[in-house]
Structure formats: C-alpha cells, structure tokens
A and B are shown apart, each in its own frame.
Chain A
Amino acid sequence: MTASLLWKRIWRHRLFYLFLLPGIVWFFIFSYVPLFGIQVAFRDFRFTGGFTGSPWAGLKYFRQFFDYYLAGDLIRNTLIISAMKLIVGFTMPIVLAILLNEVRSLKFKKTVQTLSYLPYFVSWVVVVTLMQRLLTPYGGPVNDFLVASGAVKDPIQFLNNTTWFYQIIVGSDVWKNIGWNSIIYMAAIAGIDQQLYEAAKIDGAGRFRQIWHVTLPGIRGISVILFILATGSLMSAGFEQLLLLNGPATAAIGSVLDVHVINSGISEGRLSYAAAVGLFQSVIALILILTVNRIARKVSDVSLF
C-alpha cells in the first residue's frame, strides 16, 4: 500500500482513528515527554538549573552505583525475585484459565472468576496490612490455627523472616494478580475452534489429551507474547510490594532496585543518582525484551516485532 493510499484510507475512517487520539496523547505525555528528563542521570541536578541548566556530570552517577557496596546484592535480589515471580506468576494464570475452561457449572465458574479478579483491585497497602494481621505471631489467626492443630509448637514469624520471605512475596503476588492475568488466556481459549475439540474426541482424546493437544497449542501465541512482555519487567521486582513487605530482617534478600531508586531519589534527595539507576534498569529491560523476542521468533515464529 502506498503512503497516499494509506492516508486516504485513514481519512476515510477518520472517526474511528479519532478514537486512537486519547491513547496517543496519553502515551505522548506520560511515556515520551518524561524521556526528556533522562538527561538528569548525566547531570549534577540543581534546583536552580533544573533539567536543562544543571552542569553535566558524565557517567559519575552510574559509576557511583557500581561502586556502591550493595549494588551487586540489589541487582541479584531484583533478578531472583523477578524470576520467581515470572516463572510462577506467568504459569499460574494459564493453569487457572485452563481449569476454569474445564468447569461445566457456569455459576461456579463465574464465582471463581470474580473472586480471583477481586484482589487485583485491592491496594498493596491493604494487602500487606491484612497479611500482617493474619500472619503475626502475636495472635494472628494463621498461627493460632497452626498451633491449635498441632502443626507447629510455637507460632511462626512469617514476616520479618528470610525463611518465609520468597514464599510470601511470590504467593501474595500470585494471589493478587492471578485472576486478572488469566482473563486474556480465557479469551484466547474461548477463541479456539470447537471443531478441534470434536476432532480430538473422535480420535479418542480424553480431557488431558485435549488440553495438551488443543488448548495449549491454541494459546501458545498469546503466551509467548505475554512472556516476552513480562521479561521486560525482570529488572523491576515490584516497588509497592517490596517497599511494604521488606524489613530489616529480610533486607539481605529483599532489597531491590525499585525501592533503592525511590529511597535515594526522594528520601535522600539524590535525584541524578536515582535517575541513573532507573535508566540502568530500563536499558537492561530493553535488552532483555529484544533478546527474548529474537529467541522467540527463532524458536516459535511468534514475536512482538
């Protein structure tokens, strides 16, 4: 299609294209205008100079980050937590979508769906407060139950404890997002041609065989796309959740880049340093997306671009 033809076609459907405008405006304001501020990472930010008038600092703040004795720990913690969230958080919604697809009672299905979506709309502040109340060793219902049932002798310190930290982080993340993330898989499953199931049944496939040979291949494309997108957030482990759930007892494994950026920028007033660390996160995320996208294109013919 030539450029003039394309423009003619756009003009013909201009009303529909108008619907794109709010999205474009939103992205421009919130995703492209802030790119202008990236230069702060290379400047000694001064209140008087602002973004453009502060003196250049070169790579000073990047060097400062890599000289920071906990930089390695921060990167490692971020990657470990993100990877765990990616593996568990990516597969669990698929499992839930497949399980829900197999449920025949519409009422039960709708109830489970609604219940699983709800936590997505609850703020992390509320979730963490709830967890503190439920899991506290000082009369929390979970510990009361465990002690009363004889499962444990003494109450367990679930929070502020490295032994339980990863389970709590990943578990709460799955609990909060599983329902919401499963919606897209439910939609993909609904789009699978029913004749494929019929054909599989005629060939003697049971429920598991149908899932394996029809459902899973049917959602492969969307799964790969979502996986590629998810790898982009490998360098950010979840700011709110980690800020609220990490404490001094778990800092060795729970301090992550997102929280470090906010603390150094807002609490310590080191805006250039924070911008440098944030930019480092973004660059790594971009490299990860490009790499995984390339691998996916070669392996499965499915890719973002």
Chain B
Amino acid sequence: MWNKRLKLASALLAASLMGGALAGCTSGGNNGGGNTGSSDSGGSAGTGKTVTLKILHNWNGSSGGDVDMTPIAKAIEEKTGVKVEFDYTKGSEVEKVNTIFATQDLPDIYTGPAWGGELDGIIKAANEDQLVDISGKLANYPNLEKEIAKENMPPALYDKAEGAFGDKRYLLYQNQPATDKDAMDWLYGFYIRKDIAQKVGVDPQSVKTKDDLYSLLKKIKDAGLKENGLPVIPLGGFHSGWAVTIGNTMFYGADYADKGDGTLEHSFFTKAYEDYTLYYRKLISEGLLDPEAFTQTDPIANEKVQQGRIAILAAHYPAILDASKEYVKAHPGSDYVPIGPLERAGAEPNRPADLAIQGNNVTAITKACKNVDAALKLLDFLASDEGFKLVHYGIEGVHYDMVNGKPVAKKEFFDKFATDTTGKAKKNEGFGIGFESMTGQDRTNSLGGDIWADQDRIAAMENARKILRPNGIKVISAYNPGDVISKSPEWDSLKPSMDQISDVWQQAIFAKSDADALKILNALRDQMKKTGYDDAMKYVNDNLKGKEVVKLGLPN
C-alpha cells in the first residue's frame, strides 16, 4: 500500500516538476510590444468598432500614468476608434530597435528618436521589408503627407529617410518646427552655481575662452569648497557623460571639417580634435572634471546635484533646472546660471547660434500591424491641429479654455500639476505619456505656447537665452555629411569603427599621458582608414560638391 502511495506521489512530483519546467519555457505574458491581439483587435477604423493598437514608445525613461485609460487617451479613442496601449523603453533605444526586429517582437506602431543609431536601425528595418509602405495611402491622410513633404523636412534627412526608398514611404518624421518661432532651443551650455561663482570671485559672463573656463575650474578646485562635509566637484554632468563633452564646440565647428581645399574630412582626423581631447585629459588628470561622470547613472548624478556638490554642470538648461530645483528651493541664491557665451571655433563673433534642430521623432507602422488603416487614421488625427491641441493642452473646457483665441490652462489643473513633483498627476490626465511624439510638426508656439509651463522656469530660460544667444538663433538647413556617408558603399565595414569614436575619445582623456592619448586616437584613425574611410569620404565629397554643408553647429 505504502509502495503504491510512494509511486503515486513520485509520479505526481515528477509530473509537476516537468509541468513547471515546460511552463517556464513558454511566454509568461504579453509584456513588451508583441503583436498579440486583444479581443477587439482586427476591427477596421471607421466601422465603429474599437481597434486596439500597441505602440512602442522607444524613448528611454518614458512612462505612462497610474490609470488604465486617461481622459486624453479616451478622447483620442472616441475620435479615431483606436485604443492605444503603450509599451515604454527602459534602457538603450538603439538596443531596443535592434532587438524588436531581430526577435520579431513587433508593436503595431513604432515611434522613437530620429537620430543616430536609432534612425539607422529603423531605416535598415524599412530596407528589409519590416515596415509598411504607406505611399499609396498618403493621399487620404493630408496631415501625414504634410509632415513628410520635402519642404517640411531638413534636406539631407529627407534624402536619407524618405527619398532613399524611391517611390515608397515608410517613415513619418515628426516634431520638426512648423515655423521659425516653433524652433526649440534647449540652451545647451555650461552653467555655474551663482553662489559658487561669487565665492571664487568670477563673473560667469567674463568666461569666454577655453583658457577662461579652465582657470575658473581651477579656481573652484583650489578654493577647496565643501558641501555637507563633501568636496565640491568643479565640473560634472548627468548619466554616462551627458553632456560634459559640449566643450568640443570651442575646438571644432561640426563633425566634418573643410580640409582647406574645399573637401571634407571627419573632425576626428583634425588637429583640433586632438586639442579637444588633450584639454579634457587635462581636466580629468587635474581633478577638475568628475571622473565618475562617464560611468554614473542619472540617479547618482542627480544626487550629486541635489546635495549641492557640482559647481559647474554641462547639459541643456531644462535638465539642470529640474535636477537643481530642490536644492535651490532650500538654498536660495544657489541657482545655476549660464557661463559665457563661450567662443566657438571658426564662428564669427556676431554669428547667430547654429542649432541642429531637425525634429526628434520618427514613427513607422510595422509589418505586424493588425490594422494599417486604423493606425494611419490615429496618426493623421494626432498630426492635425485638433490632435496637437488635444495632446498638448488637453480637453477644451476641462483642462483649458480658449481666451481671445488662445488656450489658457484651467487654474485647477495648473495648480495640481505645479504642486505634483512626481509628474504623475499630469500623466494620469494623459499628458506626457507618448502621444506628443506623434503630433506631426511642432506647433507649440504657433498654436498658443506651453500653457503648463512654470513661470519661474520660463523666466529662467528667457534669461539664459538672452545671455547665450546674443545674436539670435539660426536653424541649420544645410546638408550633414554624416547623413551622406551612411549611404556610401563602404558604410557597412566603416560603421563599426566610426561607432567607436566616442568610446575611444573617453579612453583617451583617461590616458596616463598626452602621448598615450594621441596613440589611442591614432589607433582608431588607422582602423577607420583600414575599413574604408578614404573611399567613403570621397563618396561624401563627390555627392556634396556644390551643396551647402554644415560646418558650424551647436548641440540641440
């Protein structure tokens, strides 16, 4: 009897173990932007049946609210018949692009950054038949047609992301300014704590050259300042070195430079790049630049700022204002103020700031999309003025009122959002949860400005703008050789070497000597030449002959 029971128990145990193992092998759920359909999927737009579409919002750190359905998402569903389920990216956007296509774990709609490796990945996907060609349907969706019209896109980017596919259209390019006044200047620069500038007796606006900046950092270091018993770091940045490298504009104008004979070469091969590297090497070796800046996470970086331990921050101004908000509140007079404006290599003193504003988002419908027409209907609505206003200002009469033809935020919501430091209150209404990325050309200023912006913040930004942009701004419309080189026949073999430039530069600035730093740069230069750099640059020079090329640019 006992033997039988033992056998039965053993069999049950074995079966449960095996079942557990097999269960572990199956997909545990539907997380991610998979193309698993919901019960109401497959319906068509316009038939009155709600279609649920999954959108991958491939912006690292983006997130939704605490509620399943926000009022804005609900209004969009009522207007378009499309219910949106967002999947957000945590981590590298480039990795996410490569992963979703390699594993075929595709959302219905992809939306993400329109620069660097992210855009290259999505163009590769288009070339490999992973995206839906919308060229035949664009005529029915005028707002989408407008946002990718040749005259509404930077020319080089149009050639790369739209014209490169012949008559086919795969990508929707978004967030480029609709008018000059919609151009967004994030005010990248070096910012110093006002109280620290006073302590070391330096007027931030007197700092103009790289030598001035070095002297200022040295003065801060030599002053031996402490905050809560911890040393104050002269220069710091945010995650993974963002954006301490912006001092490069003091050494060279843009990623590609004129060799002097009218032909271009990558700035990495110039003497100016070596000077830029050695300057930063000096900052690191003398303890003026936070050596942890390139390896730290954002929480650690923010902690340093919030403890008042960074004297000068390099980044764009909104990030600095956000990170320092709490510390400034507790220590009035400790706000960060702009340094300079600093010299720019090769730029005339009265030249406006050349901003590389080229939009920042690209959207595509993947081949896994359950209902392409529904997706297009949704995207076309979001790109309309009505959609833009709904996403940015909310529901008229609920979140805002129109006063003298301009949207004005309802006090109740304005106060609610202003006092909520977590940002969840805003997200729970449907703001900032991903729809903004897909609203076509940026018309924030044309349609009424940012009605939710904090007035102090606007004043700080205006003040910084007056200092940093004495000659105004100019949006770059010239060709970027970086977009052209990626179409050269050598690109496949050259790209892996060119992708190393940033890593190699970081290694060089930590080198033990100047000679070692240059040796590190030269090793990569040799590798780039070995993998087809010369031929690729000949291709660039041939293709850009007679065209206006970006030779001066500021980060944006």
Contacts and interface: CB of A to CB of B under 8 A. Distances in A.
Given A47-B130, A264-B496, A160 B292 contact: yes
A269 interface: yes
Contacts of A3: none
Given A138-B309, A159-B295, A22 B130 contact: no
B295 A266 contact: no
Interface in B441-496: 493, 495-496
Interface in A267-296: 267-271, 273
A249 B291 contact: yes
Contacts of B95: 266-267
Contacts of B7: 15
B183 to A, nearest CB: 31
A55 B294 CA distance: 39
Interface stretch (B340-348, B384-392, B522-530): B522-530
A255 to B, nearest CB: 9
The interface residues of chain B, by DSSP majority, are classed as helix
Nearest to B508: A248
A248 B502 CA distance: 10
A26 B24 CA distance: 10
A18 B13 CA distance: 10
Contacts, number: 116
B292 A22 contact: no
A47 B21 contact: no
Interface residues of A, number: 38
Contacts of A38: none
Contact of B510 (A46, A48, A67, A248): A248
Contact of A157 (B14, B291, B507): B291
A10 B95 CA distance: 48
B128 A22 contact: no
Given A25-B18, A247-B295, A267-B92, A16 B507 contact: no
A270 to B, nearest CB: 7
Contacts of B102: 45, 47, 269, 271
Contacts of A29: 25
Interface string B269-291: 00000000000000000000001
B499 interface: yes
Most buried by B among A16, A29, A67, A248: A248
Nearest to B520: A252
A163 to B, nearest CB: 10
A47 B128 contact: yes
Contact of A69 (B25, B101, B300, B526): B526
B509 interface: yes
A18 B229 CA distance: 64
A292 to B, nearest CB: 32
A202 interface: no
B537 interface: no
A26 B499 CA distance: 38
B14 A19 contact: yes
B17 A22 contact: yes
B117 A268 contact: yes
B230 A138 contact: yes
B332 interface: no
A265 B300 CA distance: 28
A194 interface: no
Interface in B526-545: 526-527, 530
B46 interface: no
Given A22-B20, A48-B130, A67 B530 contact: yes
A6 interface: no
A267 B98 CA distance: 7
Contacts of B14: 15, 18-19, 21-22
A206 interface: no
B229 A139 contact: yes
Contact of A26 (B21, B98, B129, B229): B21
A136 interface: yes
A22 B18 contact: yes
Contact of A25 (B21, B101, B229): B21
A48 B526 CA distance: 35
A18 B295 contact: no
Q: Chain B contact residues (Cβ within 8 angstroms of A): what range?
A: 35 or more
Nearest to B99: A266
A247 B294 CA distance: 8
Most buried by A among B233, B503, B510, B523: B510
A251 interface: yes
Contact of B22 (A25, A267, A270, A273): A25
A141 B339 CA distance: 34
Contacts of B304: 138
A123 interface: no
A18 B11 contact: yes
Nearest to A270: B496
B506 A47 contact: no
B395 to A, nearest CB: 40
B10 A267 contact: no
Interface string B78-117: 0000000000000010110111011010000000000001
B503 A251 contact: yes
B313 to A, nearest CB: 15
B318 interface: no
A22 B21 CA distance: 6
A64 B495 CA distance: 13
Nearest to A128: B295
Contact of A266 (B98, B503, B509): B98
A52 interface: no
Interface in A1-36: 15-16, 18-19, 21-22, 25-26, 29
A48 B106 CA distance: 13
Interface string A201-213: 0000000000000
Interface string B190-233: 00000000000000000000000000000000000000011101
A69 B506 CA distance: 17
Contacts of B75: none
Interface string A38-67: 000000011110000000000000001001
Given A15-B14, A25-B21, A136 B292 contact: yes
A132 interface: yes
B25 A47 contact: no
Nearest to B125: A47
B155 interface: no
8 contacts: A16-B10, A18-B15, A21-B17, A25-B22, A47-B129, A48-B128, A138-B304, A248-B507
Given A19-B14, A21-B18, A138-B231, 14 more contacts: A15-B10, A18-B11, A22-B17, A47-B130, A138-B309, A157-B291, A159-B292, A249-B291, A267-B92, A268-B495, A269-B94, A269-B121, A270-B496, A273-B496
* Leading 7 A-B pairs by shortest Cβ distance: A248-B506, A249-B510, A269-B98, A18-B14, A22-B21, A139-B230, A247-B295
Interface of B: 7, 10-11, 13-15, 17-18, 20-22, 25, 92, 94-95, 97-99, 101-102, 104, 117, 121, 124-125, 128-130, 229-231, 233, 291-292, 294-296, 300, 304, 309, 493, 495-496, 499, 503, 506-507, 509-510, 523-524, 526-527, 530
